[in-house]
Amino acid sequence: MKYLMTTTAAAMLCASAAWAETPVLKVYTYDSFVSDWGPGPAVEVAFEETCNCDLQFIGAGDGAALLARIKLEGQRSEADVILGLDTNLVAAAKETGLFTTHSVAAEYSLPISWEDDVFVPFDWGYFAFVHNVDMQAPANFRALAESDLKIVIQDPRSSTPGLGLLMWVKAAYGDEAPLIWTDLADNILTVTKGWSESYGLFLDGEADMVLSYTTSPAYHLIAEEDTSKAAASFDEGHYMQIELAGKLANSKEPELADQFIAFMVSDGFQSIIPTTNWMYPAVTPTAGLPDGFDTLILPQKSLLMSPEESAAVRDEALDEWLSALVQ
């Protein structure tokens, strides 16, 4: 047994020793970010051209599970940067005491003003239900709940879109949120752990609509020249997601981590975002947004809770959600 422990440890040491000459920057992120079609590969190439380092993206589940992973690893984490939390998780993330401050300043093109000394935004978007254009989409949650449409959503405990949906319903309906969830329960085909599973199920024809972003149809339009997907515009307004990255206090490469976060808000990173992560860039690149983004729906009203507000309602909203869905 002791032998096993030593070999395991030794194997891990060797794995990192092989790269010892070039410094390694480990960035934990969500799964779709590191996928072949996600921003990961292109960002890696772009940053490594400037940093003389080895940038490693490590997929650790969906956004909210990412935070649990960091809590689990605690002080021992090998991660230098966490990329993929959002405003709803900021309070919980700061509470861990594992993150440290940054010194990055940028001209953000976010719909709100952003000032936070720990987290830096890298992109943003509006949550929306994506559907095929040949279908009459409902105009709000009530209409959706009354319809026979089947939707796939994500678990708010593991996924940031899932948590965003919870906040969306809460922000739009307040105390009536539990009723909305009770009515929606029979429309929910399944709840997946992460966004990728949900979107995959939708593309496979398993559901009529999937919880995603107003920007998702741009992927089909630009990457696949497919105009068959649209995002349903809801008249309650759309909840906003601002995706964030933060540096861990225990990072063994703090300068490199700073360098990466500065790179993250520069053109080199931001120009990759729209057509790989299919979100609005946090800082509009000099070349502007790609053609096709102008066809996307713009919410009549945008909703967003402050990190403090969302942290305060999170547990209650989660209980309401769970209680409605187990009935």
Partner 1 sequence: MVKRAGAIGGPIVSGAVFALILAALVAVMSKANWPISFGVSDWAVVRFTIWQAILSASLSVAFAIPVARALARRQFQGRSALVTLLGAPFILPVIVAVLGILTVFGRTGWSSQLLGIFGLPPLSIYGLQGVVLAHVFFNMPLATRLILQGWQSIPTEQFRLVGQLGLPPYEVFKTLEWPLLKQVLPGALALIFVICLTSFAVALTLGGGPKSTTIELAIYQAFRFDFDLGRAAILSILQLVLAGTSAMLALWILPPIVLQSGFDRPLMRWDARGNFLRILDAIYIGVATIFLILPLSAVVVYGLIGLVKVPSTVWFAAWTSTWLAVISTGLLIIMALPVSAWLGGSKKGGAETLTLLGLAASPLMVGTGWFIIIYPLADPQYFALLVTALVNAIMALPFAVRVLVPGMRQSLVDYGRLNISLGLHGFLVWRIVLLPRIRTRLGFAAGLAAAMSVGDLGVITLFANPEWATLPLQMYRLMGSYQTTAASGAALILLVLALGLFWICDYWGRYAES
- Binding site residues, partner 1, CB under 8 A: 1, 4-5, 8-9, 12, 28, 31-32, 35, 58-61, 64-65, 68-69, 71-73, 76, 155, 157-158, 188-191, 193-194, 196-197, 199-200, 204-206, 319, 321-323, 325-326
Nearest distance from C-beta of residue 106 to partner 1, angstroms? 29
**Nearer to partner 1 (CB atom), residue 197 or residue 236:** 197
Structure letter (DSSP) for residue 139: S
Distance CA(206)–CA(153), nearest Å, equals: 12
- Considering only CA atoms, give the Rg of the chain: 20
**Nearer to partner 1 (CB atom), residue 50 or residue 228:** 228
Cα–Cα nearest to 128, from 296, 322, 315: 296
Structure tokens at 75: 């002080």
Nearest distance from C-beta of residue 91 to partner 1, angstroms? 14
Nearest distance from C-beta of residue 314 to partner 1, angstroms? 11
Structure tokens at 325: 């869905």
**Nearer to partner 1 (CB atom), residue 37 or residue 105:** 37
**Nearer to partner 1 (CB atom), residue 104 or residue 188:** 188
Nearest distance from C-beta of residue 118 to partner 1, angstroms? 19
Nearest distance from C-beta of residue 140 to partner 1, angstroms? 23
Cβ(308)–Cβ(91) below 8 Å = yes
Nearest distance from C-beta of residue 277 to partner 1, angstroms? 15
**Nearer to partner 1 (CB atom), residue 142 or residue 193:** 193
Nearest distance from C-beta of residue 204 to partner 1, angstroms? 5
Distance CA(166)–CA(143), nearest Å, equals: 17
**Nearer to partner 1 (CB atom), residue 31 or residue 236:** 31
